[in-house]
Copies of this chain bind each other. A is one copy, B any other.
Amino acid sequence: MWVGDDAAVIRVARDKMLFATDAIVENVDFDLAYASGADIGYRALAVNASDMAAMGGFPFHAVVTVGLRPDMELATFASVLDGLADAATEMRIAVVGGDISRASELWVSVAMTGATDGDPVLRTGARVGDAICVTGSLGGSAGGLFALQKEIRGRDHAIDEMIRRHLRPRPRIKEGLRLASLGATSMIDVSDGFALDLWRLLTASQVGCIVEPATIPRDPGLEELEMMVADSPAPLDLALAGGEDFELLFTIHRDRYQEAKMILGEIGCPVTAVGEVTPGEKRLGDTPLQGEDQGWDHLRGR
């Protein structure tokens, strides 16, 4: 532990808490050719805070373990710590402990506690007839990564904004809290791609859907990218499968959709209805939603 004792003593004024963990690994989740140490530290906290947001909660305390390559410059490690501190300040997270290890690649594993004001929003609560909604826009993170790989930084504002989204994802904490109090029936954050995360949400709730691909909100930078780079992927593909947008995908009674749209609009967050929960198949336009096999997708080399 970086702190003085074997464990941190944290104050808890609740009878329920949230507890989650997520790790990010060099050359799997980030590449030091594109991301700074500070971006990586920031991201490690952000992805965990997004898990809290997806429960309708807010982050509270975090502990961090870092795997460090012996050949890495200490400045890179210091930069990771700076990024962790930046994210902790922005997201009001108390980093109360940590540990470092030698490793063959840089990795950052974070565990986080969180809390909700009322009941947490689970993946299991979607009901037939609910509206399926998503905050913000999708595909921006994948577009940002593509732009970094094509080295077209600093030429277009919307593209630079996608790069920022990729390097410094902003979890929708305030939005998740409001959606919980507005009665969202189920929620998940878009970390592995809209289509897969929607499949997970619906599978947990044992319901189907009809989602119209044309309604899915796409990051405005994706069109710029398509115009600028000949071989850029189709915006819809990035929006459906890109992942790491950390937007909130949720279901809510259809009568409450307009209220949710208005209230989140007041804090600058667009909300789009993209479909409806059905008792039948999970359909994305004319095709069935593709799921995953036992959660082994991480293993099979994402």
Contacts and interface: CB of A to CB of B under 8 A. Distances in A.
Contacts of A64: 21
Contact of A20 (B1, B21, B28, B204): B1
> So how many copies of this chain end up in the complex?
2
A239 interface: no
Given A13-B15, A65-B109, A298 B188 contact: no
A21 B5 CA distance: 12
A257 B15 CA distance: 37
Interface stretch (A55-63, A216-224, A275-283): A55-63
Interface stretch (A79-87, A94-102, A161-169, A261-269): A94-102
A188 B10 contact: no
Given A12-B17, A52-B7, A64-B21, A100 B2 contact: no
- What is the size category of the interface that chain A forms with chain B? 35 or more
Interface string A40-54: 000000000011101
A199 interface: no
B2 A295 contact: yes
A144 interface: no
A90 B149 CA distance: 49
A16 B14 CA distance: 10
A7 B122 CA distance: 9
Interface of A: 1-2, 4-25, 28-29, 50-52, 54-55, 57, 61, 63-65, 67-68, 70, 74, 77, 96-105, 107, 109, 111-114, 120, 122-124, 188-189, 204, 295, 298-299, 301-302
In this complex, the member of A25, A97, A103 whose beta carbon has the largest number of chain B beta carbons within 10 angstroms is A103
A99 B4 contact: no
B5 A123 contact: yes
Contact of A18 (B7, B28, B99): B7
A104 B101 contact: no
